[in-house]
Amino acid sequence: MTVSVSLNGAEQRRPSRFGRMLEDRLPYLIVAPAILILLLVGLFPLIYSLIVSFQRITMTENDTSFVGLLNYAELFRDTRLWASLGHTAIITAIALPLELLVGFLMAQLFIDGMPGRQIFVALLVLPTVISPIVAGATWRLMFDVRFGPIGQILSFFAGEPVRILWTVNPAYVYPAIIICEVWQWAPFMFLLLLAALSNVDQSQLEAAEIDGASYLRVLRAIVLPAIAPVIAVACLIRGLDLVRIFDIIWALTEGGPGSMTETVSLYTYVQGFSQFETSYTAAISFLVIALLTLITTLVLKRMELTR
Amino acid sequence: MADVKLSGVHKYYGNVHAVRGVDLSIADGEFAVLVGPSGCGKSTLLRTIAGLEDPDDGTITIGGAVVNDLRPRERNIAMVFQNYALYPYLTVNENIAFGLRARKTPEIEIRKRVGEAAEMLGIGNLLQRYPRQLSGGQRQRVAIGRAIVRKADLFLFDEPLSNLDAQLRDEMRSEIKRLHHEITTTMIYVTHDQVEAMTLADRIVLLRDGKIEQQGAPLELFEQPRTGFVAGFLGSPSINLIPATLKTSGTAAEAVFKSGGSLTLPPAKAALLSGAEERQVLVGIRPQHFSRAGGGGPLREGVVSYSATADLIQPTGTRTFTTIKIGGVDAVAELQAHDVTNHGERIELAIDLNRVVLIDPASGLVIA
């Protein structure tokens, strides 16, 4: 072993050509495995299912020949698919604003240092912590016509037995799903909005109070513009989740009665794993991906404009 | 226009007793400055007057009416905040008009008043901009504009200049003073900066630990401080406090330093001292009361000569601050620019003891 000691600094050992090259590329070498894994888990299935969507694989047939846009053309003739997209749109359009509103009201309630705030916040966030399938199953029990507390509470207030088949009666399935969904995810909005609201500059609110501005004026001129970016991101996250909603509905109604509450995720699942129309399912998935990409791009563009 | 009266105001934050029984009466049209070190309760007191904090005890009267139970918006006050608190998503115009719109003032009147205020503050060309497009000084002007259009009974300023650089601070200080001459509304101004307090105030209210230490006209506080704290807080550089033993006999009094040497006090001062023949004191000499002894002619009554070595020399251009030793402790003398140039130079100084302040070290009270 040789130890070179440089006495005056001028004698520093120059690295070999290979050593220099290694030094230059080292950062890339270090991140390479991570990139590789990401590509493998992220990109490979995506590309593979894209390929599958152009083939004709079903349970009985393993036909890997390419059929062009056949599956995609089929999408446009599939009324059940478009109905399921409609159901998804209805649930999203009602549940998202409701979650936002309930979350905002809860945050407003807590922003002014309510006593026992920490405990309440922790309790309120519980629904968001549990798995959606558990939430759905819990609410199925809550809605149960014989044993469910909802029916009993309603009966108590009505003064006569109220028997509502929440998960079967066509008039009540959507309310049931939306109640469960809002119950689970309004706390998520609440948390984000609470954080956003506590960042609103206190002295601006005080200045507005001294100026004599009404609550609505303060909300419109100061609070909402300040928390708008958070609202946008929260709505984007929840909106994307709502378009993919599955677990709650699966637990509550399984898409029923009939296919009345069948969302696009449920329909995709049924096509893929009951009907085993593998290639067609892949095509549906890509339709959903295209839709979500469109929505996300539009929202992000919109957010940039408001900045 | 309104006068302000506080009586027995207390404010607690949990266990912290921030304001401890303040009695204060500010006349209509007066410019009062609440000043004191950080944590003395001055901002809390101002926020209590504004109604942003509720006092735990005592009453607050604005224009003869008790306002304890009134919300800030009902007190007809205007306030300028330290961080300006402009509404970031409104233009300058909308910012200034915000309070008027909130109070349903007719649009024509709003336009007129905003125009007047903008002209008065020289921000007429900025009305369509947003606060983020303004410099610190411009933001400050907008904040003041927002306050003056309201034609409030009382103006409150919470350290409005502390976020500005030194030059801008001087400029805005004069503007605020000019503003007060023009609109003659009662103003209460909070600052920790004694220069701001001295230059702006009709009356300084010096707070310490939540209590009023002393109040009065700026020069009154400067020249006749009631306590050592007041003497030390006002004036820059601050007063030199030199521990000594005071020996009185008849009409003569002498301050003897532990490290040797002594200063003979002028008869006028000595006459104020009574009782104890010998006691411990802090001798307070302001840096301004030193001068270079010149010519060797006879000294004025009460002026003594003192020979010292210039230790640190800090020229400021107009004046030069020199650190010297008196009675074994460092003291700062403020001399003419060219009075002293070399470190370690031996200088002959004259000390004007007519305005010396003697402080009892135990109680902190000024005894003469």
pLDDT tens-place string over residues A28-44: 889 999 999 999 998 89
Query: Per the domain annotation, does A243 fall within a domain?
Result: yes
The token pair that represents B39 in the structure block: 């944590």
Average pLDDT over residues A230-251: 91
* Pair A92, A24 in one domain: no
Cα gap B84→B142, rounded to integer Å? 8
Q: How far is A214 from chain B (nearest CA, A)?
A: 7
Domain count, chain A: 2
What is the band of A12 on the pLDDT scale with cuts at 50, 70, 90?
low
Together in a domain, A43 and A180 = no
**Rounded to an integer, what distance in angstroms lies between the CA atom of residue A149 and that of residue A139?**
10
User: What was the pLDDT predicted at B151?
Assistant: 87
Residue A167 lies in a domain: no
**Judging by beta carbons within 10 Å of its beta carbon (0-12, 13-18, 19+), is residue A207 exposed, middle or buried?**
buried
A179 and A267 co-located in one domain: yes
B306 Cβ partners below 8 Å, 6+ apart?
Answer: B263, B326, B348, B349, B350, B351
Residue A150 falls inside a structural domain: no
- From the list B148, B144, B192, the residue with the least C-alpha distance to B34 is B192
Using a CB-CB cut-off of 8 Å, the residues of chain A touching B95 are: none
User: In order of start, what are the domains of chain B with their CATH numbers?
Assistant: 4-227 (3.40.50.300), 240-359 (2.40.50.140)
**CB spacing of B52 vs A206 below 8 angstroms:** yes
Q: Is residue A12 part of a domain?
A: no
- The CB density around residue A140, as the number of other CB atoms within 10 Å, is 18
What percentage of chain A exceeds 90 in pLDDT? 38
Residue range A256-266: mean pLDDT, rounded: 88
CA distances from A267 to A176, B122, B261 (A): 19, 66, 101
Same domain, A26 and A117: no
The C-alpha angle with vertex B205 and arms to B202 and B207, in degrees rounded to 5, equals 160
Shortest Cα–Cα distance, A285 to chain B (Å): 42
Q: Do B77 and A210 touch (CB under 8 A)?
A: yes
Which residue of chain A is at minimal alpha-carbon distance from B148? A211
Substitution target in A211, A216, A219, A306 with the highest count of B β-carbons within 10 Å is A211
Chain B nearest C-alpha distance from A297 (Å): 25
CA geometry: angle at B148 spanning B145 and B151, to 5°? 155
For residue A97, is the peptide bond before it cis, meaning its omega torsion is within 30 degrees of 0? Answer: no
List the domain range (segments joined by +) for residue A100.
72-131+175-306
Whether residue A23 has pLDDT greater than 70: yes
- Are residues A123 and A43 both part of a single domain? no
**Whether A206 contacts chain B with CB within 8 A:** yes
CATH code for the domain in which residue A252 is found:
1.10.3720.10
For residue A66, being part of any structural domain is answered with no
Contact in structure between B241 and B359 (CB atoms under 8 Å): yes
- Same domain, yes or no, for A77 and A122? yes
**Tokens 């905002």, residue located:** A104
Q: Give me B301's structure tokens.
A: 């009554």
Residues A88 and A228 grouped into a single domain: yes
Mean pLDDT of chain A: 86
Q: Within a domain: residue A127?
A: yes
Containing A199, the helix (H) or strand (E) segment is none
The per-residue pLDDT for B295 is 61
Min Cα distance A106 → chain B (Å) is: 24
The contacts of residue A149 (CB under 8 Å, 6+ apart) are: A142
A112 in contact with B, Cβ within 8 Å: no
The list of chain B residues with pLDDT below 50 reads: none
Indicate whether A48 and A111 sit together in one domain. Answer: no
Domain for residue A276, yes or no? yes
pTM, whole model, 2 decimals?
Answer: 0.80
Nearest to B215, CA basis, from B202, B228, B196:
B202
Cβ under 8 Å to B: A residues 119-158: none
Does residue A207 sit at the B interface (CB-CB below 8 Å)? Answer: yes
Same domain, A44 and A123: no
**Contacts with B31 (C-beta within 8 Å, 6 or more apart), sequence order:** B177, B180, B186, B187, B189, B200, B201, B202, B203
Which tens digits make up the pLDDT trace of B15-40? 889 999 999 999 999 999 999 998 89
pLDDT band at A1 (very low <50, low <70, confident <90, very high): very low
- The answer on A38 and A187 residing in a single domain is no
Interface of B with A (CB under 8 A): 50, 52, 71-73, 77-79, 81-83, 85-90, 94, 98-99, 101-103, 146, 150
The answer on pLDDT for A305 being more than 70 is: no
Average pLDDT over residues A161-173: 85
Residues A233, A298, single domain; the answer is yes
Query: Looking at beta carbons, which residues of chain B come within 8 Å of A206?
Result: 50, 52, 72, 79, 81, 85
A222: chain B residues, CB-CB within 8 Å: 87, 89
Task: Looking at the structure, tell me whether residues A122 and A22 fall in a common domain.
Answer: no
**Range name among A174-183, A214-223, B266-275 with the lowest pLDDT average:** B266-275
Residues 6+ apart with CB under 8 A from B171: B137
CA separation for the pair B325, B260 (Å, rounded):
12
Determine whether the interchain pair B83/A201 forms a contact, defined as Cβ–Cβ distance below 8 Å: yes
Report yes or no on A139 lying in a domain: no
Better-predicted residue by pLDDT, A218 or B299: A218
- Give yes or no for residue A5 having a pLDDT over 60: no
Of the two residues A307 and A120, the one the predictor is more confident about is: A120
